[in-house]
């Protein structure tokens, strides 16, 4: 299963004085099993792009293909796209509305017209996946939960539709460090279980840790596309775009500026550790000579 965006351009309010082009001529193929990080400034078009992946927005020009089929052509059942591609918005807890957690999670499957028994099964499965196994929680009002738990419920609501591709817009925004880490581990776990993940993120440390591919957006177009290694090799370029780079990347740049032979592709903590230990041991050996 893959989604392909072909020459996708999206213009808001075309023909009005407020016309603005959010993304322009974007070509992107999301491949099965990827963990794709979508990076960029606010206003770089990444959220608009994310909304094209499940057909919420239709391109002004260009095509969006799901397994080779144009999802906006006449006669194509949109529900099919919604079922296969799940989209989790920023602060998804703001969309909760039902009396109980279980009912809220059931909203998606119900819309798919599934039989009661299957809905119940899916709700339980989705709540298990997000780590809310507790039977009590399912019967609680979602508005009684903590912020982190509410967000999990909202994600469960999307997972209950059993999407093959999961698109998440800044799933960790506004969470404290511990809840953030738990959320990222949850998403990483879903990816390990076989889901294709597209995650809009501002945190380069997260991208470095989890993504198998990173796409950098700037002014509505794709500026960079590659593995995190490839992207972070151009740390200077990212900084020029006003984006953060992982702190260990910055450390590498500083060290090289100081004339130390620090290798280039360091972007995870464990890589930095190895490299620094090697540097130190080498230094010691020299000193001993």
Partner 1 sequence: MALNNITLGQYYPADSVVHRLDPRIKIVLLIAVIVAIFLASNLLAFVPIAAFLVIVTRLSKVPVKMMVKGLKPLRLILILTFVLNLFFLQGETPLLNLGFAVIKKEALTMAVHYSLRLILLVLFSSLLTLTTPPITLTDGLERLLSPLRVIHFPAHEMAMMMSIALRFIPTLLEEADKIMKAQTARGADFETGNLIARAKAMVPLLVPLFVSAFRRAGDLAMAMEARCYHGGEGRTRLRVLKCQKRDYIACAVTALLIVCVVLCGKAY
Partner 2 sequence: MAEPIIAVDHVSFAYEEDGPLAVRDVSLQVEKGSFHAILGQNGSGKSTLAKLINGLYLPTEGTVTVCGMDTKADENTWEIRRRAGMVFQNPDNQLVATVVREDVAFGLENIGIPTEEMPARIEKALTDVGMLKHADKAPHLLSGGQKQRVAIAGVLAMEPEAIIFDESTAMLDPKGRRDVLKAVQRLNKEQGITVLWITHFMEEAVVCDQVHVMHRGQIVMNGTPREIFSDVERIKPYRLDAPPMARLAAQLRAQGMPLKEGILTVDEMAEEVKRLCK
Question: Given the rule CB under 8 A, which residues bind partner 2?
Answer: 41-43, 146-148, 173-179, 181, 202-203, 205, 242-244, 246-248, 250-251, 254-255, 258, 260, 269, 272-273, 276-277, 279-280, 282-283
Residue 153 in contact with residue 145, Cβ under 8 Å?
Answer: yes
Closest listed residue to residue 202, CA positions, set 154, 169, 162, 229 = 169
User: Residue 280 binds which entry of partner 2, partner 1, none, with Cβ cut-offs from 5 to 8 Å by kind?
Assistant: partner 2
Radius of gyration (C-alpha) of the chain in whole angstroms: 21
Phi-psi region of 263 (alpha: psi -120 to 50; beta: other; left: phi over 0): beta
- Alpha-carbon distance of 56 to 54, in angstroms, equals 6
Q: List the single partner that 181 binds among partner 1, partner 2, none, CB under 5 to 8 Å by kind.
A: partner 2
Q: Which helix (H) or strand (E) holds 36?
A: strand 35-40
- Give the shortest CB-162-to-partner 2 separation in angstroms: 31
For partner 2, the closer of residues 166 and 275 by Cβ is 275
Hey, which residues between 259 and 278 contact partner 1 (CB under 8 A)? none
What is the Cα–Cα distance from 250 to 79, expressed in whole angstroms?
A: 45
- Residue 97's binding partner among partner 1, partner 2, none (Cβ under 5 to 8 angstroms by kind) is partner 1
Q: Which residues contact 283 (CB under 8 A, 6 or more apart)?
A: none
Tell me if 92 contacts partner 1 by CB under 8 A.
Answer: yes
To the nearest whole angstrom, how small is the minimum distance from the Cβ of residue 268 to partner 2?
A: 11
Size of the site for partner 1 (CB under 8 A): 29
Tokens of residue 62, six digits:
């260009």
**Residue 222 binding partner per list partner 2, partner 1, none, with a CB distance cut-off of 5 to 8 Å that depends on partner kind:** none
Q: How far is the CB of 196 from partner 1 (least distance, A)?
A: 16
* Minimum distance from residue 151 beta carbon to partner 2 (Å): 11
- Per-residue burial over 104-114, b if 16 or more Cβ lie within 10 Å, else e, is bbbbbbeeeeb
Nearest to partner 2 of 123, 238 (CB atom):
238
Distance, CA of 267 to CA of 57 (rounded, Å): 34
Q: Exactly one of 31, 33, 97, 118 binds partner 1 (CB under 8 A); which one?
A: 97
Q: Is 59 in the site for partner 1 (CB under 8 A)?
A: no
CA distance 180 to 148: 9
Q: How far is the CB of 259 from partner 1 (least distance, A)?
A: 47
**Of 7, 29, 31, 79, the one binding partner 1 by CB under 8 A:** 79
The entry of partner 2, partner 1, none that residue 255 binds, CB within 5 to 8 Å by partner kind = partner 2
The set of residues, in sequence order, having a beta carbon less than 8 Å from that of 132 and lying 6+ positions away, is 101, 138, 149, 152, 153, 156
| Interface characters, 6-35, with partner 1 (x: CB under 8 A) | ------xx--x-x---x-------------
Tokens found for residue 238: 């990212």
CA distances from 124 to 103, 144, 236, 274 (A): 11, 19, 46, 43
Residues that bind partner 1 (CB under 8 A): 12-13, 16, 18, 22, 47-48, 51, 54, 56, 79, 82-83, 86-87, 89, 92, 94-97, 107-108, 111-112, 143, 157-158, 161
């Amino acid at each position: 299963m893959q989604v392909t965006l072909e020459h996708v351009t999206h213009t808001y309010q075309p023909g009005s004085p407020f016309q603005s082009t959010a993304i322009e001529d974007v070509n992107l193929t999301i491949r099965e099993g990827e963990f794709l990080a979508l990076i960029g400034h606010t206003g770089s078009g990444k959220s608009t792009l994310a909304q094209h992946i499940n057909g919420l927005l239709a391109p002004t020009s260009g095509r969006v293909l799901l397994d080779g089929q144009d999802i906006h052509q006449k006669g194509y059942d949109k529900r099919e796209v919604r079922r296969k591609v799940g989209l989790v918005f920023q602060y998804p807890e703001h969309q909760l509305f039902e009396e109980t957690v279980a009912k809220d999670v059931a909203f998606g499957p119900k819309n798919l017209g599934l039989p009661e028994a299957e809905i119940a099964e899916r709700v339980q499965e989705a709540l298990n996946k997000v780590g809310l196994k507790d039977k009590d929680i399912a019967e609680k009002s979602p508005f009684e939960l903590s912020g982190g738990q509410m967000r999990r419920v909202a994600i469960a609501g999307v997972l209950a539709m059993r999407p093959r591709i999961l698109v998440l817009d800044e799933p960790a925004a506004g969470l404290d460090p511990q809840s953030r880490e738990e959320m990222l581990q949850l998403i990483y776990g879903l990816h390990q279980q076989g889901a294709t993940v597209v995650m809009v993120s501002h945190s380069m440390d997260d991208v470095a840790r989890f993504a198998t591919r990173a796409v950098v957006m700037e002014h509505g177009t794709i500026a960079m596309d590659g593995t995190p290694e490839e992207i972070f090799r151009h740390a200077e370029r990212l900084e020029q775009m006003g984006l953060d780079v992982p702190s260990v990347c910055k450390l590498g740049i500083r060290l090289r500026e100081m004339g130390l032979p620090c290798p280039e592709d360091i972007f995870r903590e464990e890589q930095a550790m190895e490299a620094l230990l090697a540097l130190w041991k080498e230094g010691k050996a020299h000193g001993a000579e």
